[in-house]
Chains A and B, each alone.
Chain A
């Protein structure tokens, strides 16, 4: 285990690298945000004036350094369409956060129940769940989402096709609006968690302590649920952390598909508009939250596993 300072230093370095990478990707690619913000037939002078106002005529190093200083001073500046970046980002967080939490809960519920139902080898349930997981893991998440929309929105009319209702608009309506995006993410991630957890519990079932438990007369399901699952909990913490990290920013396709104003769809906008400042800010924030999540997951997994504390 590295010291906390070393970790923080690494985190800072990581944030600098990813922001520098994204900043330079956008800056050195052809075209800049002027072409997407101004209309097609904007005059040369208008483009020049826009570039000057946004600081796009400055050399790369100056732009990147001024971006960094504004990021770390807390005043994140304006996006290419003139909106305040900090306001823009803050307004996008609730949607992504509720999708992340709901998707994580759903994946854990689906994964754990399927893992325990299919614990016994050579059963139909096991073959079915394995095949199900394989199909889910072979398809992009937007395809799962489209299938869910066709089934649950068009056919059964259970959930809205698109759009986001904030929590202030009523709890049930808000959950309904993020239900399908979360479910499509959960179907993908639960498959991986299910396979890993099932393998872990299965190998624990053949461990000596499970045999002892059986010798004491405990039933199979009780051993599976308690004695064999407990040693798998640290793994579960790590897997949940990985999934949660992937939901932040990685849900761009789902958020765009369901027209949900979240961090992921903001990223897509930033990429399409070639907005370096917005993209840099977002990527730094994502790197920060991903690192925090993985540190938290590691901490939880160490807490759950007394052997890891030296």
Chain B
């Protein structure tokens, strides 16, 4: 519980940081690679832009993509799992999709799907969420099919409760804690995936600041300008630790049913 509060507090602080300092930075080549000082607290990058603004905006990008991926995989994963109980739904197709997504490392899939419909934050988020939708779909489905065998579902059905109502009142609530836990870890892996793809040059398009692309820029000047590596790396790490604090605190939502 304390961990969760700490993690959430860190996330909120990072969000506040990114909103209050974030910006594209002004290109001023006369100021390029100046070390941290009073006017430029984090120093400047290779184009003379304020690193504080770029790191803050990059943190925002990470939070945004992570948030979209977490919400999308949570909602779509559960939705897909529940849809599989509707007669006539192409359940096999859903499972084949989940199998196929699992068969390649998610970063590989994202590498290519990010190029669909041109580079952009949204297409990146969609491609990063594919693997997690499949993950949450799989576990939610197996839990839901265990629940569907319970006698109280039969009882509800005999009492004339409709399918929709059974889903909402009996099946959905016990699925939520697990899916929430998985979606927190999908948040982390999306943040890491975005940073990695941007580091490789296949992530968010150039004008949008991203911690990954700042880090890849910093790589060439690492010995002369270590601050360019230090600040984005620390914020990426802080973000990761914040998410992990939340994830660890959620990792045991219901110890009694651990073995199902």
Q: Which residues of A contact B (CB under 8 A)?
A: 10, 13-15, 17-18, 21-22, 25-26, 28-30, 134-135, 137-143, 146, 150, 154, 245-246, 248-250, 252-253, 256-257, 267-268, 271-272, 274, 279, 283, 286-287, 290-291
Contact = CB atoms under 8 A, between A and B. Distances in A.
B241 A138 contact: yes
A252 B240 contact: no
Contacts of B104: 18, 249, 283, 286-287, 290
Contacts of A287: 100, 103-104
A159 B199 CA distance: 23
A14 B229 CA distance: 40
Contacts of B118: 29-30
B196 A141 contact: yes
Contacts of B222: 146, 150
* Residue of A28, A137, A257 most packed against chain B (CB within 10 A): A137
A127 to B, nearest CB: 13
B192 interface: yes
B223 A154 contact: yes
Contact of B233 (A28, A143, A286): A143
Contact of A245 (B105, B233, B248): B105
A187 to B, nearest CB: 14
Contacts of B103: 14-15, 18, 286-287, 290-291
B196 A249 contact: no
Nearest to B211: A140
Given A286-B105, A290-B104, A25 B112 contact: yes
Contacts of B223: 154
Interface size class of B (residues with CB under 8 A): 35 or more
B237 interface: yes
Nearest to A288: B103
Contacts of A26: 112, 115
A21 B113 CA distance: 8
B200 A256 contact: yes
A138 B240 contact: yes
A138 B237 contact: yes
Contact of A146 (B99, B229, B248): B229
Nearest to A264: B108
Contacts of A30: 118
A207 to B, nearest CB: 13
Nearest to A10: B99
A146 B223 CA distance: 12
4 closest Cβ pairs, A-B complex: A138-B240, A250-B105, A17-B100, A287-B103
Contact of A135 (B97, B109, B115, B241): B241
